[in-house]
Structure 1
Amino acid sequence: MSQFSTGELAKAAEVSVRTVQYYDQRGILTPSEVTEGGRRIYHESDLERLQVICFLRDLDFSIKQIKKLLQEENREQVLELLLTDQIESLEKSSKEIEVKLKRARYLQKVTVKRHQLLLEDLSDISRLMENQKSWRHLQLRVYGSVVLTSLLYLIGLLIVIYYFKDPRGLFIICPAFLIAINLVVFHYRKQFEYLCPNCHRTFEPSSKEFALAGHTPRTRKLTCPHCHVKTYCLELAKSQTK
């Protein structure tokens, strides 16, 4: 069985010697043995008790409350509930910190490239990051619909060529495919909006401008109806699609 002096116990629990002495004086951490010379000896069970005390202090329990809890018969069950709640709380905080850290790193990269950031630019960046998940989800739905429509077209094409063996069926299949693709594009176009980097306002382009505009995976070259500047505008998923 491991034995600890006051200093060794403090080191094992990562607290100060004065903390151990204080808990001893308050009667919530008594040593397992006291030598004739007055030397305090702590065992492994005392270390576990000290760690429980430190945990409860982190939860803002008073010394009086800790003493009362440690005297309860069902203290293990109470501690288990407290630990479960604390773990869930820490995991949630960890995720929130990770999101904030990711945003800060992104802003740091942008700041290196651009020495001066306007408040509107920061707002746009924040909006982009918050919209990223919804936009990706919507993009996957678009691609999925296009792939499904294309597969149905190929199946129809094979049936016409190899089963019916009538080339006139192509005059039905091909227009039907084009109509279906256009319907898919029209349906999903209504679920996107575009953010102008010049005036920082959002808008929806006309069907014609949408179809003819040059684009990248995340932007489309459009004329903003608010400031009338033609530039690459950022594609966003509308809020109702989130």
Structure 2
Amino acid sequence: MTEMSQFSTGELAKAAEVSVRTVQYYDQRGILTPSEVTEGGRRIYHDSDLERLQVICFLRDLDFSINQIKKLLQEENREQVLELLLTDQIESLEKSSEEIEVKLKRARHLQKATAKWRQLSLEDLSDISRLMENQKSWRNLQLRMFGSIILTSLLYFIALLIVIYYFKDPRGLFVVCPAFIIATNLVVFHYRKQFEYLCPNCHRTFDPSFKEFAIAGHTPRTRKLTCPHCHVKTYCLELAKTKTK
């Protein structure tokens, strides 16, 4: 028969890799009582007590409260209760882990952005902030403009089909084609008035002429224009006008 190990409070704490005060605290809270107490008041713990302490430490690492642990250890079907508690704790930790991962990605992204912003002026940072705030309005305006152009093009092709296959008169093309060009320009002109451009040089906004707007080189979010304020020709940021303007 294997001899049962015995531990003093200090030895038990060392075996479980916790402090003596931790063992004493659990004893005071009634979740870890010694197997024996000598006449002199010395507490003696056995292997079963070490296992119990290890379970307690494990549960505490999972953020179980003392009351939850006490409830678990008092149950006859403690294994089933432990499984339920662990399942609940795992779900909670997984959710927390996902939230932490999202926050971590944001922090890393901000760290990279901040490294780039260190060399930017306050005006540059203000432009970046304005761009971010304007992003949704600009995208919605772009979608409406392209939707209108697509609708105009669709009506143009329908008109072409009617002229070619119904009237069978090619002279109708001299009416349909110019009408399409005029309609498309009216759509672009209408939406152009709802855009403004931010000069990266002087950080001021302006409205270009329709001619300059139409012939200027551009990217999806910028257009090469001459700023009327500083007279510098550069790629200016396209913004949706706010309702307050």
The reply to whether TM is greater than 0.5 is: yes
Please say which of residues 100-109 and 117-126 is displaced more in the overlay. Answer: 100-109
Distance 1:151 1:95 in 2: 44
Over residues 144-177 of structure 1, what are the superposed CA-to-partner deviations in whole Å (9 max), with x where a residue is unaligned?
3322322221122122101221223223322221
Tell me which residue corresponds to 1:13: none
Change (3 A) 1:100 1:220: farther
Superposed CA offset, 1:4-28 (max 9, x none) = x9889x8xxxxx7349647624638
CA displacement, residues 40-77 of structure 1 (integer Å, 9 cap, x when unaligned): 2139975774355x27xxxxxxxxxx5567789xxx9x
Equivalent position of 1:141 in the other structure:
144
The alignment of Structure 1 onto Structure 2 pairs a total of residues equal to 209
* Preserved CA contact (<8 Å) 2:224 2:235: yes
Q: Which of 201, 205, 209 in structure 2 is aligned with 1:206?
A: 209
Map of 1:24 onto structure 2: 26
- Of 199, 220, 226, the residue aligned with 1:217 is 220
Mapping 1:123-142, distance limit 5 Å: 123-142=126-145
Aligned to 2:161: 158
Paired with 1:103 and 1:149, the residues of 2 have a C-alpha distance of: 43
**Against the structure 1 CA distance between its residues 153 and 110, is the aligned structure 2 distance closer, same or farther, given a 3 Å change threshold?**
farther
2:190 is equivalent to residue 187 of structure 1: yes
Aligned residue type for 1:38: H
Distance 1:95 1:210, change over 3 A: farther
Largest Rg, 1 or 2: 2
Q: Which residue of 2 aligns with 1:234?
A: 237
Q: Find the aligned partners of 2:110 and 2:150 in 1 and give their Cα distance.
A: 33
Whichever residue aligns with residue 121 of structure 1, its letter is D
User: Post-superposition shift, 1:107?
Assistant: 5.0
How far off is 1:97 after superposition?
5.5
User: How many angstroms apart in 2 are the aligned matches of 1:207 and 1:51?
Assistant: 67
Cα offset, 1:191, TM superposition: 2.7
Distance apart, 1:210 and its partner CA: 1.7
Counterpart secondary structure, 1:234: strand
Q: Distance in 2 between matches of 1:26 and 1:212?
A: 83
Distance across 2 between alignment mates of 1:168 and 1:28? 100
Distance 1:34 1:41 in 2: 13
In structure 2, what is the equivalent of residue 38 of structure 1? 46
- Aligned-partner Cα distance in 1 for 2:154–2:117: 41
Letter of the structure 1 residue corresponding to residue 122 of structure 2: L
Kindly provide the amino acid, as one letter, of the partner of residue 29 in structure 2.
G
TM-score (norm 2): 0.61
The answer to whether residue 126 in structure 2 is matched with residue 105 in structure 1 is: no
* Gap runs ≥5 in structure 1: 11-15, 56-65
% same residue: 57
Contact 1:194 1:203 in 2 (8 A): yes
Is there any run of 5+ residues in structure 2 with no aligned partner, and where?
Answer: 1-11, 37-43, 72-83
Aligned to 2:60: 50
Match for 1:27: what amino acid? Answer: R
Separation (CA, whole Å) in 2 of partners of 1:173 and 1:192: 29
Query: Contact 2:31/2:69 (CA < 8 Å) preserved in 1?
Result: no
